[in-house]
Structures are given as structure tokens and as C-alpha cells.
Amino acid sequence: MSLEALGPHQGDADALARRLARALLGGDWQPGDVFPKELDIAARCAVSRNLVRNALASLTAAGLLERTAGRGTRVREVGDWHLLDPQMSDWLVGLAHPQPQLVRELLAFRYSAEPVVAELAARAAGPDDLARLEAAFRGMAATADASEQAGQHVEYDVAFHEAIYEASHNLIWRQMGHLLRPSILALVQHSQRPARGDDGLGDSLERHGAVLEAIKGGDGPRAARAAREVLGRTARDLGVDTETGARAD
């Protein structure tokens, strides 16, 4: 609701857009709120109005803002946000507290989509796809024990999932994989909290291995089942109905 957190700015237009977007996604303004006017932002961040306009145009293109001449700028409803816009994906990177509703929706989507993608991958994967998958899996295995390598482990985990989308050899699914990256990252970090017990990482590794083996063997249905297993525990933890994959109101 305020502009106070934003100090003077340094960087190009994209950087300013990123700052504003993250502030918005972080909850500084609620849907329906009026967004600060161009001149206020320009003054507060010590940049020209032009740069502010370009940045706001980006947020508008992503469906975050609604601007009308004379009225001003308002924050749109979450349902109007373009979650599949790659730019949005960038902005979500490293966001500390994404909205819980968003997290559940994303996981429900992945729980329904990734089995299918794994099935495609099992049938379409080429040598380099398998190489990527194996490299990611070996990385996961090598960093599974040491807790000080948690960051690296997460990276390999995300790379593994991204490689599955890549191996589907379908333009749309591959783009989906890229732009789900930050969401997957957030989910993986969330699901690896040690509070759940010590079987977590070992089990997770085993399940990822099952997916890899199924894809290597070209066994589509088994790959689908294995992919479902990988996401199953996280889904249950977050309260996503693993029967329906979505929750009716």
C-alpha cells in the first residue's frame, strides 16, 4: 500500500520492472488497490517518467496492473494475472513468501501434467535428453547427504524436472518447463524441509531414479506412475487432493 520500501534506483528499465513486480507479488499492494502514479514512482526512484512508463507497461502486459487514462493504475485480481508469461516467471524467482493459494494451484497443475510429460518423454527422449536427465540425477545423488550442499541439491532437482519437459520434444511443454522453473524451485525448497523426518531425501532420490529408469526404458505408463509418485508426498503435504488433482470449491 506504500511506496516507502523503494529507494533510489540503479539499473535499466527491466530492473525497475522487476523491483516493482516483486514488490507487488510480495504483497505490498492488494488486488483492487490503486498503484502509485507515474510521477511519484519517478520521483521516489530518481528515474525519468519514461522509464517508469516502460516498467509499468511490462507489469500491465503481465496482467498485474490495469491502467486507464484519467483513472490511474490499479492492481488486478489474482485470477487475471498471466501466470504463464515468462516474464512473470523471472519475477517469481527467489520470492520469499508466494501466496499459498498460488502454490497449491501450481502443484495441482504439476501433479496432473508431469505424468503426461514423463510419458511423452519416455517415448520421445533422445540421447542428449537422457544425458541431461542422468547428469541431473547423479548430481542429486552426490549432494543428497551433505546438508551444507542443500542449495546444489535443489538445483539438480529442478534441472531434473526441467529435463523431463525438455525431453518431451514438444514446443509448448518445453516452454512450460522453463517457465515453471521458479515455481518448481519454490516447491522443492518447501518440500525439503527436514521437519518431516529423515526418510525424505532418500525416498525422494529413489523416486526420481524410478522416473529416470522408466524414461530410459521407454516405458511410458511406468514413467507416468513414477512421476506421480515423485509429486505425491509434496501434494499431500500441501493439502492437494491426490485423487482429483484439484479441489472443488
Partner DNA sequence: CAGCGCAAAATGTCTGACATTTATCGCCAG
Partner DNA sequence: CTGGCGATAAATGTCAGACATTTTGCGCTG
Binding footprint of a second copy on the chain (CB under 8 A):
54, 57-58, 61, 63, 78-79, 82-87, 102, 105-106, 108-109, 112-113, 115-117, 119-120, 123-124, 126, 168-173, 175-176, 179, 243-249
Binding partner of residue 245 among DNA, a second copy, none, CB under 5 to 8 Å per kind?
A: a second copy
Q: By CB under 7 A, tell whether 54 contacts DNA.
A: yes
Phi, psi at 67, each rounded to 5° = -120, 130
95 close to 88: Cβ distance less than 8 angstroms: no
67 forms beta bridges with 73
Which listed option, a second copy, DNA, none, makes contact with residue 38 (CB within 5 to 8 Å by class)?
DNA
3-state DSSP assignment of residue 69:
coil
Beta-carbon contacts of 10 under 8 Å, excluding residues fewer than 6 positions away, are none
Among 25, 47, 176, 231, binds DNA (CB under 7 A): 47
Looking only at residues 57 through 86 of this chain, which bind DNA when binding is defined by CB under 7 A? 67-73
Closest CB 33 distance from a second copy, rounded Å = 21
- State in angstroms the smallest separation of the CB of 39 from DNA: 6
Quick check: 53 binds DNA (CB under 7 A)? Answer: yes
Sequence-distant (6+) residues with CB within 8 A of 122 are: 214, 215, 217, 218, 219, 220, 222, 223
- Give the strand pairing for 34-35 and 65-68: unpaired
In angstroms, the CA 154 to CA 151 distance is 5
124 binds, among DNA, a second copy, none (CB under 5 to 8 A by kind): a second copy
Binding site for DNA (CB under 7 A): 12-13, 35, 37-39, 47-51, 53-54, 56, 67-73
